Amino acid sequence: MQIIIGILVVIVGFYMAYRPRFFVEFLGHQAWAEKIFQVYDDELAYKLIGVIVIFLGALIMTGLVWNLLGWVLSPIIRNG
């Protein structure tokens, strides 16, 4: 099941990077993207988000996303 979900996430990320104009028209201007990425072009911001989504989809497919989240959140959540 995680392979199918990962493939769907990769497809959405690829579509975000390949056709960012659709997401700009559908979702509109995102002010938070300008603050985080320091990019003042909406299409470029959606392309960057698409590349990040592709990376996350690959992590979901391989099952490494939980290991990465555990490592990132380990200072906050202590087990034992």
Domain boundaries, position 47: 2-73
In a domain, 80, yes or no: no
pTM of the model: 0.80
**Which 3-state string (H, E, C) describes the chain?**
CHHHHHHHHHHHHHHHHHCHHHHHHHHCCCHHHHHHHCCCCHHHHHHHHHHHHHHHHHHHHHCCHHHHHHHHHCCCCCCC
In a domain, 38, yes or no: yes
State the residue for tokens 């300008």.
Answer: 34
In a domain, 61, yes or no: yes
Q: How many domains does the chain have?
A: 1
pLDDT in tens, the chain (80 residues): 999 999 999 999 999 999 999 988 998 888 888 888 787 888 888 999 999 999 999 999 999 988 888 888 888 887 65
In a domain, 67, yes or no: yes
In a domain, 79, yes or no: no
